[in-house]
């Protein structure tokens, strides 16, 4: 029987409500399979920042981030509040956490569950079953760039990652003078190789036969040229798995026209962020979209699991939001911890409740509350106990 220490961060908006239901289902999974959870709540979010940290650039301080790293995983609700600068919640919490713990995998599955209707005509349960893997540490999300007014600018910027350190010195002379902005995108050999290899290994584990690598090398030739070169090299190590290349904009079309074609998709950071939301829409919406920010080496860095729906502030406190994305993020957490049987039971209980159709939240045409859905899935899960 295994024991796990889990950090709970409800965060903002609907986050505390959906996390409450996720924890409820994880507790039921523990009862069924013999797992023991040691939960610890953390207050990080808008209210805590406004009361104790206002004016600071991050939701958490360095020592607090380090404490999160002592747990086996982080189970996260959502971040985002109109009273707090977006840079604090995003760059000062989510992005910082990803970089601090080297969570270089952003896993965002999209699966059409039993009892959920796709907006795409004629799709049956499990016709859509995509593992979207987004590179989580590089590309245009490194936060380096500048904006200035005039005709000259000189900036020195540093990029620090677990794999490397880089310094950029950018001098700009522009005529005529005016407002000017630029953003730096970075792709490196080592970071690309590890996320691409993760994609092939996941395909192997899930007994899938195709990995699709997304790029835009036809235009952004330098960064994505390196990306597809590394994909070709890694793909040679997996002769039983087909390697497909897909240009990012064409991928959006095929996700709508033939989503069942895709099995594992590996994408750079920016494209992965966009495509994963589209993939979620094909399987019922963001209420069914879990995410894992993963460092596959549990000794090297803690991983964080969250829904990708955001904080939805207008629904805060209404007990209305669909908690299934949060519950399925818990399923990803269980898989990461090696508790595959518990993960399977969580998905089975979720599908059983959805297929029965008695409990449905507003986003799928029902009137059930957030807690109604959590209760129903937890109850069904307990019924699956041998």
3-state secondary structure 77-144: EECCCCCCCHHHHHHHHHHHHHHHCCCCEEEEEEECCCCCCCCCCCCCCCCCEEEEEEECCCECCCCC
With H, G, I as helix, E, B as strand and everything else as coil, classify residue 67: helix
How far apart CA 5 and CA 46 sit, in angstroms, is 25
Q: Parallel, antiparallel, or unpaired: how do β-strands 264-267 and 129-135 relate?
A: parallel
Domains of the chain by residue range: 1-106+289-386, 129-139+187-282, 145-183
Q: Parallel, antiparallel, or unpaired: how do β-strands 129-135 and 105-111 relate?
A: antiparallel
For the entire predicted model, the pTM comes to 0.95
CATH T-level assignment (fold) for domain 129-139+187-282: Rossmann fold (3.40.50)
176 cis-preceded (ω within 30 degrees of 0): yes
- Can you list the alpha helix ranges (DSSP code H) found in the chain? 15-33, 46-48, 62-68, 86-89, 96-100, 189-205, 221-235, 248-257, 269-282, 324-336, 340-356, 370-383
How far apart CA 382 and CA 386 sit, in angstroms, is 9
Q: Whats the size of the chain, residue-wise?
A: 386
Describe the strand order of the beta sheet including 129-135 as a list of residue ranges. 36-42, 3-11, 73-78, 304-307, 290-294, 105-111, 129-135, 264-267, 210-215, 242-247
Residues of the chain with pLDDT below 70 are none
Q: At what angle do helices 324-336 and 15-33 cross, to 10 degrees?
A: 50
How far apart CA 123 and CA 117 sit, in angstroms, is 8
How far apart CA 159 and CA 223 sit, in angstroms, is 16
Q: Which two tokens stand for residue 349?
A: 């209980």
Q: 131 and 201 in contact (C-beta within 8 Å)?
A: no
How far apart CA 324 and CA 290 sit, in angstroms, is 8
Q: What pLDDT is recorded for position 304? A: 98
How far apart CA 150 and CA 360 sit, in angstroms, is 56
With H, G, I as helix, E, B as strand and everything else as coil, classify residue 42: strand
Q: 137 and 98 in contact (C-beta within 8 Å)?
A: yes
> CB-based contacts of 229: which residues, under 8 Å, 6+ apart?
none
Q: Which two tokens stand for residue 328?
A: 């399925």
Q: 98 and 68 in contact (C-beta within 8 Å)?
A: no
C-alpha of 121 from chain center = 27
Q: Parallel, antiparallel, or unpaired: how do β-strands 290-294 and 105-111 relate?
A: antiparallel
Q: Which CATH number fits domain 1-106+289-386: 3.40.50.2300, 3.40.50.2000, 3.40.718.10, 3.40.800.20?
A: 3.40.718.10
How far apart CA 87 and CA 59 sit, in angstroms, is 10
């Amino acid at each position: 029987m295994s024991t796990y220490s889990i950090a709970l961060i409800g965060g903002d908006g609907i986050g505390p409500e959906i996390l409450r239901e996720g924890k409820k289902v994880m507790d039921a999974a523990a009862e069924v399979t013999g797992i023991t959870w040691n939960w610890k709540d953390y207050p990080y979010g808008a209210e805590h920042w406004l009361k104790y940290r206002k004016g600071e650039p991050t939701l958490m301080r360095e020592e607090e981030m380090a404490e999160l790293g002592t747990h086996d995983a982080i189970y996260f609700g959502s971040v985002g509040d109109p009273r707090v600068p977006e840079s604090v919640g995003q760059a000062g919490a989510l992005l910082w956490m990803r970089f601090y713990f080297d969570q270089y995998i952003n896993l965002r599955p999209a699966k059409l569950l039993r009892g959920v209707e796709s907006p795409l005509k004629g799709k049956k349960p499990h016709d859509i079953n995509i593992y979207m893997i987004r590179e989580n540490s590089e590309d245009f999300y490194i936060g380096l760039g500048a904006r200035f007014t005039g005709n000259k600018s000189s900036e020195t910027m540093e990029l620090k990652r677990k794999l490397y350190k880089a310094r950029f010195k950018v001098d700009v002379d522009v005529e005529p003078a005016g407002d000017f902005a630029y953003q730096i995108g970075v792709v490196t050999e080592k970071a690309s190789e590890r996320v691409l290899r993760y994609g092939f290994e996941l395909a192997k584990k899930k007994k899938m036969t195709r990995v699709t690598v997304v790029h835009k090398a036809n235009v952004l030739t330098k960064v994505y040229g390196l990306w597809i070169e590394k994909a070709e090299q890694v793909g040679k190590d997996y002769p039983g798995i087909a390697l497909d290349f897909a240009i990012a904009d064409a991928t959006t079309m095929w996700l709508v026209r033939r989503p069942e074609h895709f099995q594992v998709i590996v994408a750079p950071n920016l494209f992965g962020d966009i495509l994963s939301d589209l993939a979620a829409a094909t399987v019922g919406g963001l209420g069914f979209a879990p995410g894992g920010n993963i460092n596959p080496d549990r000794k090297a860095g803690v991983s964080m699991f969250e829904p990708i729906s955001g904080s939805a502030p207008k629904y805060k406190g209404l007990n209305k939001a669909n908690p299934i994305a949060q519950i399925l993020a818990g399923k990803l957490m269980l898989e990461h911890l090696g508790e595959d049987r518990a993960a399977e039971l969580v998905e089975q209980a979720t599908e059983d409740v959805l297929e029965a159709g008695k409990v449905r939240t507003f986003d799928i045409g029902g009137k059930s509350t957030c807690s109604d859905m959590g209760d129903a899935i937890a109850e069904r899960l307990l019924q699956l106990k041998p």
